[in-house]
Amino acid sequence: MCHGAAVSVFPEAHLGEVYDGDIYGYQYGDPSASKHIAIFPDIYGANPLYQGLALRFAEKGARATLLDPYTPLGELPEPTREHAFARRMKLRDKTYLDQVEAYSEKEGVTGIVGFCLGGLYIFELARRAAKPDLVGLYGFPQGLPNDDGIPVPFDYLTSVTRSFTMLMGRLDEPVTTEVMDKLSAMAPDCPAMDLTMYPNAGHGFIADLDSDDPEARAVAEDALARLDAALL
């Protein structure tokens, strides 16, 4: 699982006001704020960690929208990777990102952060030269299968001109170290990509904000600081 539990350094988690238009999600903060940050969660959906992150952005004066592509597709029978991926396959990636771009334009989104599958979406939004500031964490540069698929990042990264930030852990098992090494090797030829590769981190490292391991917690704190610097 990418993320499930809340982290104590974020505000106490709760679902915000439901937004049910062309996309589905939860809204936090002042609607008139100059900064509007959208959050792509991982394949398990808008769980307490992302709720807390959205509330943290709101506390810092931003408006936040926690996107939820999955609730309209039905609840998970069990919170397992198998069930989460089965539900995720019902999501049409290209069409969904078209809808998110339209929402971003309509609602004045100034920044987007994506985790896991959401990190893959950040690669794609950079390829599309989307207007908001873009930050991805532990995305999939090798792409993921989908019936309404989007291009594989490895096939286009060297030609992207829209700047974006990508935060990755080299020991990320779902993405694999081989993919991480390939991404690192490509990075000098991808001037638009501001890549941070944490050598001893795995998948889901932002949750280590609550870790008892000082090294793991330092990685999570650095990632959060970079996220803030890019979006706030």
Q: How many CB atoms lie within 10 A of CB 96?
A: 19
Question: In which residue are the tokens 């049910």 written?
Answer: 20
Residue 190 designated active-site: no
Q: Hey, what are 132's tokens?
A: 């908001």
| Separation between Cα atoms, residue 139 and residue 151, nearest integer Å | 14
Radius of gyration of the chain (CA): 16
| Separation between Cα atoms, residue 180 and residue 142, nearest integer Å | 10
Residue 208 designated active-site: no
Catalytic position from the list 42, 68, 203, 208: 203
Catalytic position from the list 116, 133, 190, 208: 116
| Separation between Cα atoms, residue 169 and residue 196, nearest integer Å | 8
Catalytic position from the list 42, 68, 172, 208: 172
Instruction: Please give the helix or strand (H or E) that residue 115 lies within, else none.
Output: strand 111-115
Residues 6+ apart with CB under 8 A from 188: none
Per DSSP, helices labelled H in 60-154 are 81-88, 93-107, 117-127
Residue 116 designated active-site: yes
The residues annotated as belonging to the active site are 116, 172, 203
